[in-house]
Amino acid sequence: MPTALITGATAGLGAAFARRLAADGFSLVLVARDAERLASAAEELRLRYGVSSEVLPADLATDEGLQKVEARLREGVDLLVNNAGFGHPGSFLDVPVEEELRMLKLHCEAVLRLTLAALPGMKARDRGAVVNVASVAAFLAGGTYSASKAWVVNFSESAASELTGSRVRVMALCPGFVRTEFHRRASIDTSGIPDFLWLSADDVVREAMRDLARGRRVSVPDLRYKVISAVARLVPPNLAGQVSRRIGRR
């Protein structure tokens, strides 16, 4: 039975990945900060899909948490989903530098370290995959969040290029607005986001897994966001950033 390790596994896209992979017959390693919520998620998956779920409480914005998950990855997994992340409600100049550094630790250093912990074993077995959850924000100018997600896309594409010729895949997943806890937990006002821009987490994961099977290095779920990301690459960065901020926040 293949094994998947998912970070940020108790809510949103992480929980959607857990449901999808459990339905596909994966045994799971669920990583998140809240041990009680992890245990509840694991039990729910066991009852619904009959799969085993190992729980690994860890704060990936700390060295201790990263080391714990790195050690588990070196034991071997078939799929790593780097999903853990968070947002800020304020603009770049309004956010304490400590919080900006915590974001970079989680969005960039954690993705780097966990990917590097998983890939050697995958490469030796000549099978496996890493999905790094980025965002359509990676293609827009929007503070540290957008910059960190742009790094995730660039890093994922670079790693995928280095694995050319093997059966190991690395893909950046770049969804748009998804109905999850993300915005509420970040205290971000979403009232200015049009209804037609919202996606469901299960739909995003379904398209992500299809793109992974096709060997895509970057997955942008949904035609609407494929168009938005393509246009964002063509217009001046300052204009794209202004539009993004106007839509995303009041």
Strand 3-7, strand 53-57: pairing: unpaired
Annotated catalytic residues are 145
196, burial (CB in 10 Å: exposed 0-12, middle 13-18, buried 19+): exposed
Q: How far apart are the first and last CA of the chain?
A: 47
* Beta-bridge mates of residue 218: 172
CA angle at 238 for the pair 234 and 244, rounded to the nearest 5°: 85
User: Tell me, what DSSP letter sits at residue 106?
Assistant: I
Distance CA 17, CA 28 (A): 10
* Contact partners, residue 228, CB within 8 Å, separation at least 6: 136, 176
- 69: tokens are 């998950």
Question: Cβ(81)–Cβ(175) under 8 Å?
Answer: no
Alpha helices in the chain (DSSP H): 12-23, 35-49, 63-74, 97-104, 110-125, 143-162, 182-185, 201-213, 223-232, 237-248
